[in-house]
Amino acid sequence: MEIPCFSILYFISICMFALEVCKSVDVLRSSEPIRDSDTLVSPGEKFQLGFFSPGNSSNKYLAIRYHNIPEKTIVWVANGDNPVNDSSGVLRIGNEGKLVLVDQAERVLWSSNNMNASSQSVVAQLLDSGNLVLKDDSENVSGNYLWQSFDHPSNTLVAGMKVGWDLRMRLDWHMTSWKSAEDPSTGDFTCGVDLGGIIPQLVIRKGRVKHFRSGPWNGIQLSGVPPTHNLVFIPKFVNNSQEVYYTFNNFNESTITRSVLNASGNHQRYLWSEKTQEWTMIYMWPHDECDVYGNCGPNTMCTISNPQMCSCMIGYQPKSQAEWDTLVWSSGCFTMNTGMSLKECELECFKNCSCRAYANIDATGGGSGCLLWFGDLLDVRKLSVYANQDLYIRVSASDLDSLNSKWKEWVAVAISMAFVVLSVVLYFCIIWKRKKHAQGITFDLPAEDENSLQLLIFDRVTILRATNNFCDSNKLGEGGFGPVYKGQLPNGQEIAVKRLSEDSRQGLNEFKNEVMLIAKLQHRNLVKLQGCCIEEERMLIYEYMPNGSLDSFIFGKTREDSLVWRMRFNIIVGIARGLLYLHRDSRLRIIHRDLKASNVLLDNEMNPKISDFGMARVFGGDLSLVKTKRIVGT
């Protein structure tokens, strides 16, 4: 039978239309916006982008979810804090080449934060990794993205996503919890990599308060969590000059895992089961009360299997026995050397009386590198499963007798009598040095002022703790006198510590001079001296000035444009008022002799304050008697 030509063409067109409808669309172009019922599906049909409502919520969110998993599992949300209240949401590529989500009233609910680009050549694509990328379609370069969702994690981490830092771009990859399972708006907890210590580690925070820390990566695993010997996922930690991040890969193509930061601040790992068609949680951090940061207080060990989970380390006793009896335990810093062996690390620790503990950095290949802890040990727990790494804690010889068998399983301490004798000798040497040093510092104020000097004398341990043992990340700058570090006292007050170096041009007389002068000066345009330290070395403790020195604004390449004329004028007037006070209005007539932009500091409101009085000089009423016989200052 002869089939009419038009019938064949009609049949072919129907088939082509059906193929087009069934085809998965993974690319969004400027001429093809996504509306409420539209979706993008990755090429391998692993992930899907569209408008979804979590749980029983009636709000609509632009989100990415698993496409090939029956249970609706969202892994990324764009407009968590700005939901669409109806079905009018539209995602499109705007005129500036950015992804833009708008509602019926054309109100922008969310947009990508990439640089402006030509909207004609920009496309968005959903990859099989679950990454939504924005790229210039005219540039056929893989991975050259204008923007990507992996740089802005939600509450979920999938294989290939990073938590940490891109140090070149100053990108902070961190997870943020949802308010609840049905409300993806910003919750109370974040999970990211803390760069504040010597070795980075994962930290969960509630606001600014630490809730959990993973411990540093020891080459095998995160040292502060139980080992996860399984065939589910492969963790990885990268730490170099360009990036610092934690990530993971699934063990194979058939394995699907994800980690979620839930509304209670728990980091949970889930595994998808094809057999049961549901997610199974395989572990969680914090797992118990011993995982909560600092739950037992300093110099304690947490053992969850004990009826009283908190116990004092050997050589310590409860600070408050009354609190301890009611199960209230809340009443270190470390340094490292990657080239040391464990024995060399032990010897290095014994050289410093402040060293409390040491351990290997890398647990692979029998162990290598050296970590040293100073001051109180915080957040220590005993793991029921061997974690590939021992912590060696310094204790006195008399306390070793009380070492029980359980403690021996976890802590290995080897102290020879030679080191005990050396420690005693060093101790008396330090005591003698401190007494000698303290006797050498006096404050010669005028007779009428001797009894009115109210100046705090800080001990060295307090300053070490405040500055994280003078960690480089706390360093604010350095001058001829020595370095200046940012610190924080136990009461939360921020301070600046000027540490007089041994080869400093500022000697004992200049130190006494600065302490004597600044302690008596009270003016809004002069930096306030909080106190000093005279143990082993000389240090001055000032109020902390968040905006640093004036020269960083005048000569700095990144801050020079931020000083508008009104701000400059106020700074000039403030400096003039400070000088007027020094020259005429203060009880001690003072000339600064070292006034320069680097010695003018700015507080959080950009108010100027004159600092550094090491070269200053007091003069009386008869100016003819004041003569400078040498060149000093600026």
Instruction: Give the mean model confidence (pLDDT) for residues 336-344.
Output: 78
Calpha distance 66→257 (Å, rounded):
11
CB-count burial class (<10 Å; 0-12, 13-18, 19+) for 357? buried
CB-count burial class (<10 Å; 0-12, 13-18, 19+) for 93? buried
pLDDT band at 552 (very low <50, low <70, confident <90, very high): confident
Backbone angles phi, psi at 452, to 5 degrees: -100, 0
Exposure string over 381-407, b if 16+ CB within 10 A, otherwise e: bbbeeebebbbbbbbeeeeeeeeeeeb
Calpha distance 52→58 (Å, rounded):
9
- What is the set of domains in the chain, with CATH numbers? 1-152 (2.90.10.10), 153-287 (2.90.10), 291-418 (no CATH), 447-625 (1.10.510.10)
Q: Is the pLDDT of residue 465 over 80?
A: yes
Of the candidates 29, 200, 48, the one whose C-alpha atom is nearest the C-alpha of residue 130 is 48
Task: For 321-430, list the strands marked E by DSSP.
Answer: 333-337, 355-359, 370-374, 392-393
Count CA atoms closer than 13 A to 460's CA, side-chain side: 14
| Model pLDDT for residues 285-311, shown as the tens digit of each residue | 888 888 888 778 777 888 877 777 888
Strands 392-393 and 456-457: unpaired
Of the candidates 337, 195, 178, the one whose C-alpha atom is nearest the C-alpha of residue 262 is 178
3-class SS shares of the chain: helix, strand, coil, % to 5: 20, 30, 50
DSSP code, position 31? T
| Model pLDDT for residues 5-17, shown as the tens digit of each residue | 555 555 445 444 4
| Model pLDDT for residues 312-326, shown as the tens digit of each residue | 877 666 756 665 555
Calpha distance 61→78 (Å, rounded):
7
Q: Let me know if 503 is a catalytic residue.
A: no
| Model pLDDT for residues 239-266, shown as the tens digit of each residue | 988 999 999 999 888 899 999 999 999 9
Of 26, 151, 379, 594, catalytic: 594
pLDDT band at 451 (very low <50, low <70, confident <90, very high): very low
| Model pLDDT for residues 574-627, shown as the tens digit of each residue | 999 999 998 888 877 888 888 999 889 999 889 999 988 777 777 765 554 456
Map tokens 């496409």 to a residue.
Answer: 67
Most confident by average pLDDT, 20-24, 87-91, 337-341, 627-631: 87-91
| Model pLDDT for residues 579-591, shown as the tens digit of each residue | 999 888 887 788 8
Global pTM value: 0.54
Residue 484 has which token pair? 């200046």
pLDDT averaged over every residue in the chain: 79
Q: 484: which strand partners?
A: 477, 498
